[in-house]
Structure 1
Amino acid sequence: MAIDAPSSPNTQPWSDRLRHSTIILIAAALALSVLVSLGELSALPAAIVFLCIAAAALIPWRLHDAAASRDDVRRINNPVESAAVAAVVAGMPDPAVLLDRAGRVIHLNAAAAQLAPALRRNELAQFALRSPEIITALREAIATTEPRRATYLDHVPVDRWLELMITPVPVPTTFGGADKCMLMTFHDQTPLRRVEEMRADFVANASHELRTPLAALSGFIDTLQGQAKDDPKARERFLGIMHNQATRMARLIDDLLSLSRVELSAHVRPDTLVDLLPIILQVADGLEPLARERQVDVETHLPDAPVMIAGDREELLRLFENLIENALKYGASGGRVIVSLTPSTATDGAQEIRVMVRDFGPGIAPEHLPRLTERFYRVDVGDSRSQGGTGLGLSLVKHILNRHRGRLLIESVPRQGATFTACFPQAKTPALT
């Protein structure tokens, strides 16, 4: 909150000063008249005293007006307060405030005014800034005329991490000298902080997911080297569990590498035309043993003509493999999975291709739908691990679709199954020549 400094006598309004001077002169005239009438003072000395009092009351006006005039001239001629400097500060994309050596605000842009509404021109910035980190850095920069940096958390209106940079700026003065102003710029570090937090969470989750099967393998190896070494039945059972754990770890590493590759090339859109139909059929045929094991019928409703999009064949194979495999694993109770492809029109009018994978299983509760594509997010952790899931399948699907400039739609009603729809922009057919 800004603190209003008390006004000095020299800044009082003109009418107030006139009233005060008039009262002083009237009082002096009355007092001198009484003294003359009583014979205590002759008329000539009384007149001289009255003139001195009048001069004392009126001359400071002239001095103040002259000083104000000099201040106005200084402001007009001061290069720092020129319109060009104001335009430069106003044009900076980040919140920016230019201060004089005393810490008063000379210029600020709209972003700074929005960040700290209490900032006012010609007022001390320390009174308008709440964070102790900012005030400390500003005082040190003013005292030393050296750059300062501070990072702080702003809670209003939402939590944001901001970095303050205070840079001394040499500026010319009115009479040809040089002085230093302080340029304060604020940089929003919230996206970087969130990325760092996501990266730390990802590393922690990945380490945990890898540590679990590694611990199981290590434990069973110790058991096989000990008491179960001569027990054929136990050895066969433990080796089967070890095989499953090793397979799960291999899938996790494979998904991590695939996700990393997709993220590295996310800015490069595939430009090779591929036909979706043989890709979908290849995935469905490859998952036929899993479908038989889960007693699920896979129905494919595909057109006869080729459906071309600009895409990466290997990435599309992983995408449809994850979607259909999830439907077979988590929707197996429905006994049926439908894979269909239809042309459609997006909300913006663009033509697109939609591949829908629908199961008739237990469905997904609404509160889980927005988070399904987060890394390592699971609706049921125990069920996911028992199914051999890594928690990265839908995250990989989302990133592959983003690279293909597509989108993923998820619809589900509990006890009525779920539908995952991959939407791809339709490839433009080359013009006939």
Structure 2
Amino acid sequence: MTEVRIPQNWLFNSNTFARGFSDPRAEGVATYSVIGADTYSSKAGSKTPIKITCDSNSVSFVLQKLLLQMDISLCNADGSPAAPGAALKNTFLGLDAFIKTLTIKAGGQTVEQIDDWPSYCATTYKNLPLGQKKLLSQMTGYGNTSVFATSSSVTSNWHPLISFFHSSLGQYLSPWSLPNQAMEIIFTLNDPSQIFTASTVAEYRISNNTCFIPYITPPPEIVIQATRAIANGQSLYYDYMRTRQTDAPCSGARRNMFLFYMSGVRSLANTEFFFIDDNVTADPSKDKALSFSSQNLNQFWYQLGPGLTIPNGTQGFKHSATNSQALLLSALSNNNFEQLGDIDIDFSLFDSQQFSIPYSFQSTDEANNAALSFQGSDGLFRIITEHSSAPSPVVKMVLQYRENVTLSIGQTVAVI
């Protein structure tokens, strides 16, 4: 680990382990890189995971400020640098599309696993406030389909917008308390056909993979007390929302019931569903970040058990290209109208290119005890949809959901 120390005084509150520490010493920024070979080719794809190990036996990570950096270079079939130009059209997602999967581990335990990073980013970014979208455009080229117009080599600076990096209680992660004293960031590369919509890119390579993590140094007595507590069978807790992705195919009929198994979920905070057409995914000319259509959805319901539906009654949430009722009501499950006004929703693109429907059981002004528990139920979460014309069986519904979990750090590490 390389440390760039930044002298600064800060206040330490001795009655909480979760909040900011104080010590008349220093904060700093830790720099980590890939161990061994640092240049990876898209030809290896998902077969070669790229891992950055972030370890420390003395500091606590401020993951809310973590930054990843990589250089991306386009190549010809013979490995020579490709020529830049306007013909090199990437997807609307920008440089995030180069990542296929993202996994985070702490103490060897998987704490986050996103199997389809581009779809996660596409649905997460589209309703962010305008200022955040502008920042993303400068960091990773979000919204810019000509990132390689003037140069075939660019640098991506990205902060994964995942809940593990934004703890529910604003906590810091203390790698020194983990058995291996490390957090691992593991990602794989996407196929060029999923990134570019015009002009064939034979290969790309990424290099200089670096992770910057601001940290604080807790006073030695805190580390000693926590270490002794773990040795005595106690645990430290890190609360966050874990994201999961699952999917189910359409039946080929106008009415569909999608079943999702939630028997292991004790605290469901929110969900978001969207449709993916495998024919569109296989078409290299299609922009995968703008391929989320409503599949002619008319109305839908959530069913939590026999006779228990949202909304209740015979009429579901209504949706059409000219009726945004479902989008507004679902968004209001997480926000009030003042907060909703901060979300940059493009209604003109929503139905045909950026369709996804969120629903929150725990809104932004509620604690995690307001979330939905499946304990004592059949563990099934059902979404019933009606369409004006039947979606093809090659279309699948993807459900993205977040559950409140706790990383328990003791003599063993577990997500509970």
More helix by share: 1
Q: By the TM > 0.5 criterion, same fold?
A: no
* TM-score range normalised by the length of the shorter chain: under 0.3
- Higher RCO structure, 1 or 2 (CA under 8 Å, sep 6+): 2
Report the structure number with the largest CA radius of gyration.
Answer: 1
More strand by share: 2
Normalising by structure 2, we get a TM-score of: 0.22
